[in-house]
Chains A and B, each alone.
Chain A
Amino acid sequence: MTSPSEIIDMDRLDHTRCRTWPFLQDFCVTCGMCASSCPASGIDGFDPRMLVRMASFGLVEDLVDARWPWICTMCGKCENVCPMQIEIPDLVRNIRSRRDREKVPGILHKGLVAALETGNNLRLPKEDFIFIIEDVAEEVAEEPGFEGFKAPIDKKGANILTTIHNKLVNTHTEDLKHWWKIFHAAEEDWTATSENWEGTSWGYFTGDDDAMKVMAGRIVEQMERLEVNTLLWPE
């Protein structure tokens, strides 16, 4: 990565390196609308305009090494306001995908590795998962109007399969109840799976398409196994 004071010889840069990227970064008119709309702009020097500019100059290594493409939250505001329709979030993701996986920021990298190895970002064993679900279901059943409530895990032929965000079985178990109460009131025929129940897919954030394919494929497998036609993926 170049230091700020170093003079970069433009003659040695290949501006065509990123020309095959399909994000129109070369159309940037440097108006700065992206930077002014970005909620993360300015955090640790993050600036979407700079990112677009560096891509069109061909400074790919600098971009890949920089910390700030990882500050972007992929909210897409920049893309929304860009007068030249440059797909900035996709550009950010593309840059992230070029980083050595071992250098992907800690929590994202560890979580994704855990999900690929164990089916969820927390490495939560199947028995513990079932225990938590049943325990929360018992709490729901104690509330008036929900007598006899049970969480139907691995129910074959249900109408809906719902994925679960790992934080709902970790720190936010209360939030599970809201979903379930709605299902109950609507008399919905639903189920969740005891394996590969994870709904989050951090490959999206790290630019790892292969990981995303694996995570999505597992959910499809579960739908086939339980013969469910409709997926609820509340992410």
Chain B
Amino acid sequence: MNNTTLILGNGPCAGIVAENLLTAGAKIIIATRDDTCNFDGSADTGALQIMTQTRLISCKGSVGNFRIHGTQKNKPVTIDAGRVIISEEDQRMPNFSLYGLNGSSNVITLSQMKHLLKDSSSEKTILSEIKKVVFLSGLVKESTPIIAKDVMLFSLLLQKDSNIKTYILTKNLKVAGDGLESLYRDTKNAGTIYIKFTDVAPDIHQNDEDPVRIEFFDEITSKNFRLTPDMTVVDESIVPSEYASDLAKIFDIEIDLSGFVQADNVHRYPVLTNRKGIMVAGPSRSIRDVDDQRIDAENAALAVTGLSGEETKAQKAQVHDGQCIRCLTCYRLCPYHAITLNSRVVVMPDACERCGICATHCPRHAVRIADLEPEAMSALIGTGGGIDKQQTFVPFIVAFCCRRSAARARDLAVCMGYHLPQGLRIVEVPCSGALSYDHIFGALGNNADGVMVLTCHKGNCHSEQGNIYADQTVAQIREMFSRIGFEKERILIQTLASNMGAEFARIAGRFEETIKELGPSRLKKIGLSENSTPTKSKIGKRK
């Protein structure tokens, strides 16, 4: 196990991660593409290694043993690390085109304004010739509190220090951040005029170096106004750096809709990714302000120290060489990048999260997780239901529940005192993606009158697609059932979140009613139940 942590980035967030880890006594490497490293680590010699002008190219291995190839000063370099924390800075793109403007001496970006306002700025004298400044903020594309903060802060400075009249033209002003409402008040106090647009947009005209002419209908006074500011400041969009996007590909990490590293998955704690041992903090992860970045950095450092010496007794996926034909299905499907290819296919146990997707989809039944095998689970299911004292039919219902959502919803239903069907048997699975035909047939073979598969909502799966695979499996079985004349209503798939106790009870109750109407399963009558082991092809699963 390699205990070194590789930190990627050269901004404040990377710095805080480094500080925290060094304090905790960890060994770290900071790798930056820049010529110099901003982190001053002169005090720590043994624990800290700094690599400048370094770019990564590829990564192999799993948590505890990553082998990373890259270039340092254009020469190949290999880095071995147990964990990686990505905290590359984001970048700001000017929104000129959104407003139909071109950058010029009097049409500048927010970052350029920031530069002008610096005391050290040699161009600060420009401001002495200016009387009116207009800020365009979030008029076409929704802005963010970070940009709103800059807009308000610069407006305030212009009003107070340079006696420049400022206007902020905005749609929704994003004040959901610490101190932003108070900053808003300060700008109002200083004399900033806000023009808020809801249903209409201002007409913005630019003609070479002439002052920009902005005409608009003010929705509140119902009057038309014209503004010809000496300077127009255009807001910016915060996007992930291209390098952070490259890193997502190198490490095979999911990205969110805006391209930031780490998907918006509700089942993952902040800073953790789909790959164990690879964390992402601060501006690589999402649009985050300084305080958020500090929290992220501390969380990432904690996650690293928390992972050290982690041991788990749970059984992990294993590849049985004799049956593996190297079709790479498992490699392709593993959401955690836990399968590696050397001369043979190997599961890296530290990276495996036991979702079972590989085992279910292996056409040769070569990948297995012992305790999730259909036989092992059938033994757990046992039998149930039958005829009660009043001689009425009590259906035996097997519910396969994802442990992150449906199983918790069921616990909640019990806690809340909801009535659940008498013959309901819960089978908890690490992910609904672990369910194969054999699991479902196994339940029916165990005398189940109905089978429910209860998964996370779409887009909420910890294993990214496990619930979608389960959905496909159930759909195929239902179709097969309708073709052979068996009631497809005996199989149900539904999505649930962990807080949906009442819904769990309702779904189970309604399913019980359906099964009662259908009566006992015919599979019982034909004596499938005499053999308690499920039907299974000797060669492997046909799927």
Do the two chains belong together in a single complex? yes
**Could you tell me if A50 and B224 are in contact, using CB atoms closer than 8 angstroms?**
no
Tell me the complex Cα distance, A52–B184, Å.
18
How close is B354's CB to chain A, nearest CB, in angstroms? 51
**Could you tell me if A16 and B222 are in contact, using CB atoms closer than 8 angstroms?**
no
A-B contact list, 27 entries, CB within 8 Å? A2-B223, A4-B222, A4-B224, A5-B224, A6-B223, A7-B226, A8-B224, A9-B228, A10-B167, A11-B227, A11-B228, A15-B165, A15-B191, A15-B193, A16-B191, A19-B191, A26-B188, A26-B191, A27-B189, A29-B184, A30-B194, A49-B220, A50-B220, A50-B221, A53-B218, A53-B220, A57-B221
**Could you tell me if A9 and B220 are in contact, using CB atoms closer than 8 angstroms?**
no
Tell me the complex Cα distance, A27–B194, Å.
10
Given known pairs A27-B185, A57-B193, the reply for A7 and B225 (CB within 8 Å) is yes
How close is B186's CB to chain A, nearest CB, in angstroms? 11
Which residues of A (103-130) have their CB < 8 Å from a CB of B? none
Q: List, in ascending order, chain A residues with CB within 8 A of B193's CB.
A: 15, 56-57
- Having A53-B218, A53-B221, one finds 7 other A-B pairs with CB under 8 Å, namely A7-B215, A15-B191, A16-B191, A27-B185, A30-B194, A30-B220, A59-B223
CB nearest neighbor in A for B230 = A11
Query: A40-75 interface mask toward B, CB cutoff 8 Å, 1 = contact, 0 = none?
Result: 000000000110011011010000000000000000
Tell me the complex Cα distance, A114–B222, Å.
38
Most buried by A among B184, B191, B215, B221: B221
Q: Is B268 an interface residue (CB 8 A)?
A: no
Q: List, in ascending order, chain A residues with CB within 8 A of B228's CB.
A: 9, 11
CB nearest neighbor in A for B229 = A11
Tell me the complex Cα distance, A99–B413, Å.
69
How close is A32's CB to chain B, nearest CB, in angstroms? 8
Tell me the complex Cα distance, A122–B226, Å.
49
Q: List, in ascending order, chain A residues with CB within 8 A of B196's CB.
A: 30
Tell me the complex Cα distance, A10–B220, Å.
15
Q: List, in ascending order, chain A residues with CB within 8 A of B185's CB.
A: 27
Total interface residues on A, using CB and 8 Å?
23
Number of chain B interface residues as a range: 20 to 34
Q: Is B132 an interface residue (CB 8 A)?
A: yes
Tell me the complex Cα distance, A85–B220, Å.
19
Q: List, in ascending order, chain A residues with CB within 8 A of B184's CB.
A: 29
Tell me the complex Cα distance, A6–B191, Å.
25
Q: List, in ascending order, chain B residues with CB within 8 A of A10's CB.
A: 167, 225-227
Query: A10-29 interface mask toward B, CB cutoff 8 Å, 1 = contact, 0 = none?
Result: 11000110010000001101
Given known pairs A26-B188, A56-B193, the reply for A6 and B222 (CB within 8 Å) is no
Tell me the complex Cα distance, A9–B191, Å.
18
**Could you tell me if B226 and A9 are in contact, using CB atoms closer than 8 angstroms?**
yes
Query: A179-220 interface mask toward B, CB cutoff 8 Å, 1 = contact, 0 = none?
Result: 000000000000000000000000000000000000000000
Given known pairs A16-B191, A27-B188, A30-B196, the reply for A6 and B226 (CB within 8 Å) is no
**Could you tell me if B165 and A8 are in contact, using CB atoms closer than 8 angstroms?**
no
CB nearest neighbor in B for A2 = B223
Most buried by B among A4, A16, A30: A30
How close is A135's CB to chain B, nearest CB, in angstroms? 54
CB nearest neighbor in A for B185 = A27
Tell me the complex Cα distance, A19–B193, Å.
12
Q: List, in ascending order, chain A residues with CB within 8 A of B165's CB.
A: 15
**Could you tell me if B223 and A8 are in contact, using CB atoms closer than 8 angstroms?**
yes
Tell me the complex Cα distance, A11–B130, Å.
13
Q: List, in ascending order, chain B residues with CB within 8 A of A6's CB.
A: 223-224
CB nearest neighbor in A for B184 = A29
Which residues of B (105-138) have their CB < 8 Å from a CB of A? 132
Q: List, in ascending order, chain B residues with CB within 8 A of A29's CB.
A: 184
- CB < 8 Å neighbour of A59 from B191, B221, B226: B221
**Could you tell me if B226 and A8 are in contact, using CB atoms closer than 8 angstroms?**
yes
Tell me the complex Cα distance, A5–B222, Å.
9
CB nearest neighbor in A for B196 = A30
- CB < 8 Å neighbour of A7 from B132, B220, B222, B224: B224
Tell me the complex Cα distance, A16–B184, Å.
18
Q: List, in ascending order, chain B residues with CB within 8 A of A16's CB.
A: 191
Q: List, in ascending order, chain A residues with CB within 8 A of B191's CB.
A: 15-16, 19, 26
How close is A30's CB to chain B, nearest CB, in angstroms? 6
Q: List, in ascending order, chain B residues with CB within 8 A of A15's CB.
A: 165, 191, 193
